[in-house]
């Protein structure tokens, strides 16, 4: 680059204009920068800028392709390119790390005039974002069911639980997750379906592999309440919306035992 000699407002304007060039690299948007870019090894300024712009867009495309491999398979090459082009123009990268670059992709798909006609796409993208979040979460050692069993029954009503940081809850109204599973298994997905809400639990397992299971409405309400800080007694009471008094506590215990075995509970809080 040529030596910069401009004040802060001029530099900011230059940076903004250069970003617009990167998002729309053509002669008209690039001419104003030719004086700031020097020739190098026989490459004139326009050629150097075009190479930089191509590399910038290619890197962003690769990021979306890596993060959303199954979404790309679902869309096919042409629609995937259409999505990437529209998303990059509307959401230029503002992060130091590319890991967050596609965080807004579900919202883009939900609001874009074309892609919003297919709600499964937004939910499929959102599911993949949850998988990434679970995989990237910090490590923490889980506790076992034996630690709960060792507690006096007197303290059980007030106990609370803290969960592994990888735990994610995901809800959708389409068969996005089932479509993801089919494509992951190299099978054709079924036709898009919309209907009642579906709940999923996502976490990073003991082998550092991302896993997920479907949740019944009562299971989703149960773990949501524990995540919000409700204690054992409160969650048993909540289960009365689905079960009788005797069965409610049994359902809570069965769920807790399964969560301990999955390794998603990292601590038990005993309240006086």
Model confidence pLDDT, tens digit, residues 176-215 = 999 999 999 999 999 999 999 999 999 999 888 999 999 9
- Domain boundary among the residues 11, 33, 67 is at 67
Co-location of 197 and 126 in the same domain: yes
Which of these, 118, 104, 132, 133, lies nearest to 189 by C-alpha position?
118
Distant-in-sequence contacts of 84-90, Cβ < 8 A, 24+ apart:
84/60, 86/112, 88/23, 88/57, 88/60, 88/61, 89/23, 89/24
Co-location of 47 and 83 in the same domain: no
Co-location of 9 and 27 in the same domain: yes
Co-location of 27 and 101 in the same domain: no
Tell me, yes or no, if the pTM score tops 0.85: no
Neighbours of 218 (CB within 10 A): 17
CA atoms within 13 A on the CB side of 171: 9
Please compute the mean of the pLDDT values over residues 118-136 and round it to a whole number.
97
Q: Give strand pairing partners of 163.
A: 265
Q: What is the pLDDT of residue 57?
A: 78
Contact 109, 129 (CB under 8 A): no
Co-location of 87 and 216 in the same domain: yes
Query: For the chain, what is the domain count?
Result: 2
Co-location of 27 and 90 in the same domain: no
Cα(77)–Cα(97) distance, integer angstroms: 26
Q: Give strand pairing partners of 253.
A: none
Co-location of 134 and 220 in the same domain: yes
Q: Which two tokens stand for residue 225?
A: 């309440």
**Average pLDDT of every residue of the chain:** 87
Structure-token match 């007030």, residue found: 158
Co-location of 104 and 180 in the same domain: yes
Q: Give strand pairing partners of 215.
A: 199
Contact 157, 117 (CB under 8 A): no
Please compute the mean of the pLDDT values over residues 1-27 and round it to a whole number.
58
Q: Helix, strand, or coil here: 112?
A: coil
Co-location of 168 and 192 in the same domain: yes
Domain extent for 136: 68-269
Q: What is the pLDDT of residue 42?
A: 61
43: CB partners within 8 A, 6+ apart:
51
Antiparallel, parallel or unpaired: β 168-174 and 160-163: unpaired
Q: Which two tokens stand for residue 190?
A: 């079924």
Co-location of 54 and 8 in the same domain: yes
Cα(219)–Cα(201) distance, integer angstroms: 10
The answer to whether residue 50 scores a pLDDT higher than 70 is no
DSSP state at residue 4: P
pLDDT tens-digit series, residues 219-248 = 999 999 999 999 999 999 999 999 999 899
37: CB partners within 8 A, 6+ apart:
1, 2, 45, 48, 49
Co-location of 206 and 165 in the same domain: yes
Q: What is the pLDDT of residue 37?
A: 57
Q: Helix, strand, or coil here: 267?
A: strand
- Domain boundary among the residues 23, 39, 67 is at 67
The answer to whether residue 85 scores a pLDDT higher than 60 is yes
Co-location of 17 and 131 in the same domain: no
């Amino acid at each position: 680059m040529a030596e910069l000699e401009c004040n802060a407002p001029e530099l900011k304007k230059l940076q903004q204009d250069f970003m617009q060039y990167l998002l729309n690299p053509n002669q008209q948007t690039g001419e104003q920068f030719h004086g700031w870019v020097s020739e190098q090894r026989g490459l004139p300024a326009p050629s150097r800028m075009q190479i930089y712009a191509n590399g910038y867009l290619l890197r962003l495309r690769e990021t979306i392709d890596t993060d959303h491999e199954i979404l790309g398979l679902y869309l096919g090459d042409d629609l995937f390119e259409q999505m990437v082009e529209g998303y990059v123009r509307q959401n230029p990268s503002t992060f130091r790390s590319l890991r967050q670059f596609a965080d807004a992709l579900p919202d883009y798909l939900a609001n874009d005039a074309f892609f919003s006609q297919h709600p499964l796409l937004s939910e499929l993208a959102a599911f993949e974002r949850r998988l990434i979040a679970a995989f990237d979460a910090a490590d923490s050692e889980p506790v076992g069911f034996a630690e709960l069993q060792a507690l006096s029954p007197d303290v059980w009503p007030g106990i609370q639980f803290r969960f592994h940081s990888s735990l994610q809850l995901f809800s959708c109204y389409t068969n996005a997750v089932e479509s993801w599973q089919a494509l992951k298994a190299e099978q054709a997905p079924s036709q898009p379906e919309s209907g009642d809400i579906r709940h999923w639990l996502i976490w990073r397992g003991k082998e550092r592999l991302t896993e997920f299971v479907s949740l019944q409405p009562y299971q989703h309400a149960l773990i949501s309440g524990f995540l919000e800080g409700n204690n054992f007694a409160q969650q048993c009471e909540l289960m009365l919306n689905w079960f009788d008094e005797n069965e409610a506590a049994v359902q809570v215990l069965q769920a807790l035992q399964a969560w301990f075995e999955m390794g998603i509970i990292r601590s038990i809080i005993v309240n006086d």
